[in-house]
Chains A and B, each alone.
Chain A
Amino acid sequence: MKMLMILAWRNLWRNKRRTIITVASVFFAVLLAICSESFQRGSYEMMIDNMVKYSTGYLKVQDVMYHDEPSIDNSLLYDDALQSALKPYAESIDYLVPRIQGFTLVANDETTRGALLIGMNPDSEVQFNDFRENIVAGDYLESGDQSVLISSGLARVLNAEVGDTLVFISQGFQGASAAGLFPVKGIVRIRVPEMDRATILMPLAAAQWFFQADERLTSLIVMPNNPADTERLANAMAKGLDAEWFRLLTWKELLADFLKLMAFDVAANKVFLYILYMIIAFGIYGTVLTMMVERTKELAMIISVGMKRSQLAVVCVIEMVLMTLLGVIAGALAAFPVVYYFHHNPIQLSGELANVMIDYGFEPVMPFSMSAINFLSQVYVVSVISLLVSIYPVYKVYSMKVVESSKL
């Protein structure tokens, strides 16, 4: 085997320029493919992360009707029975985030706006998101407060400041009227721009009082110890919850529409990648073709003197694999610092593109993903291409007519 490796390696450098050009084509294709994949995956990871952290959580327990008909009327009763039903999974659960939310009209003496009112437990929300870190004026909420945090975008619209009192009017549980006056304790900047324009945060007890929905929640977000374990935890919990009353939704179900859109976009990117892969494949194939034509007589002679065709085929395959590996490894090594830099220093979008992002409710930044799969998938695909291209020399070696080929 050592001799086969030596033969393959030296054959590779018989025509340095050709090998370098082929390796370079693989190198640039891999570099481009990794960056493109990492860029796309990074953007989606950020979007999913934002949505999971600010909105859906990894796992959500809701009333069986709420997902299809989100209304306070379809809230669940967070009583001892439900808490007991969740106890067996306590080891897999990091923490729970109880919420009650509904739409409300909020007004001051100047203007009225519609907003999303989220009743939440200030302590568990601290673990769930960064509302407390993003207070831009005033203070964060405490459980017993009868006051609210308003998002910075809404504060601008209402021209409201800390200490102002706002009027809330909505519809409570089972048609009860909901109304109240709440002072603004603080203003919070929410990273998802769409939410930042119209969100009010209120302590859970105060919100339950406001909606006249004691002990009721519209959702109970479950944050697992290991997010990768979400599906397994969901399956286990589903067995312990009465399906007649409760529905368990994973983040994939909660973000189903977004994930479909993402899958479509990923498919479009794949087309671009396939074109790259085609370029790689034809680049390598061109080299192989030339190499085989140049060496036909030599290969015939090697078979003549006693080398088995299988051994010669292995030499040809090793040459292909070495050439490809050189390009792939160099491409991956070159891509790593690029991906690392843009992972920690996301591209800040500006202008029209940034506005589009903001309109869709996302932060206008484009981070790169550091996921190992970005690198490994390229190595895998290019290796498969290399092996496919290797079929040609293997076929040529096995079908070679020694006498005729040695006359060339």
Chain B
Amino acid sequence: MTKVIRTENLTKVYNHTVVPVHALGGVDLEVEKGEFTAIIGPSGSGKTTLLNMIGGLDHPTSGRVFVGDTEMTALKESKLIDFRLRNIGFVFQSYNLIPVLTAKENISFIMLLQKRSKEEMEARAIQLLQEVGLTDKADVRPQKLSGGQQQRVAVARALASRPQFVLADEPTANLDTQSAFNLLDIMQKLNEEEHITLLFSTHDQRVIDRARRVIKLVDGKIASDERR
């Protein structure tokens, strides 16, 4: 199988306080294409920090992150942003859609940054809206969508650039049960049918139940790694 993500001895130490906080303590991880992986663990175990490192949003204190054959930790800021744009999709806990853009524009926005053609953007945005069941909300701005709908738009946005993998940080944390199930159905379908690699950080048992691999972090280290 193709390895999409690889980390080598990834550590992160925060020195904001008097006592240094070791958020990650030497994480070695490999994620293969098409995996549906949940990273679980108690608060402060380093889930979000690990996702930020893999997503190139934060720099490790030491260690390396590879996406495909590219060592992302060696990229400079401008190249890193471009790399992130083309290879990684993000879904955040609080949706984080651009409030002044409609659902369709939010999805197209990523493709626009990639300088895709207008026709391609239009077709892809409509396709993604169909996949997340929001065709009728294409021209609606985020504040007029429910939390579940916003998160589905966020998933569509994350997939718009056809990334190598999607990072989702507690994507169901703010959703009610029904919305969470709808979202998970969509993501599971995308994973199974389009082999999209998904990496979640979560506390949510509903997500854990769907995942085919569960990695447990404790105190910044992998305590268990279970494939189902």
Name A residues whose Cβ lies closer than 8 Å to a Cβ of B.
Answer: 3, 7, 10-11, 14, 297-298, 301-309, 311, 402-403, 406
Contacts and interface: CB of A to CB of B under 8 A. Distances in A.
A304 B99 contact: no
Interface in B96-126: 96, 98-101, 109-110, 112-114
Contacts, number: 55
Contacts of B109: 3, 305
B100 A11 contact: yes
A40 B78 CA distance: 52
Question: What is the size category of the interface that chain B forms with chain A?
Answer: 20 to 34
Interface string B72-111: 0000001001101110001010001011110000000110
A84 to B, nearest CB: 73
A305 to B, nearest CB: 6
A298 B57 contact: no
Contact of B110 (A298, A305, A406): A305
Contacts of B84: 304-306
Contacts of A11: 100
Contact of B161 (A3, A7, A303, A306): A306
Nearest to B87: A306
Contacts of B82: 306, 308
Nearest to A307: B113
B157 interface: yes
Given A297-B96, A301-B96, A304-B55, 17 more contacts: A3-B112, A10-B100, A10-B101, A298-B96, A301-B92, A302-B98, A305-B84, A305-B85, A305-B157, A306-B84, A306-B110, A306-B113, A306-B161, A308-B82, A309-B81, A406-B57, A406-B96
Contacts of B112: 3
21 contacts: A3-B109, A7-B100, A7-B101, A10-B100, A10-B101, A14-B100, A297-B96, A301-B92, A302-B98, A304-B84, A304-B96, A305-B84, A305-B110, A306-B85, A306-B113, A308-B78, A308-B82, A309-B81, A403-B52, A403-B58, A406-B96
Contacts of A303: 81
Contacts of B157: 305
Nearest to A11: B100
Nearest to A308: B81
A7 B81 contact: no
Interface in B20-56: 52, 55
B57 to A, nearest CB: 5
A305 B90 contact: yes
A403 B57 contact: yes
B78 A402 contact: no
B175 to A, nearest CB: 18
A14 B99 contact: yes
B160 to A, nearest CB: 10
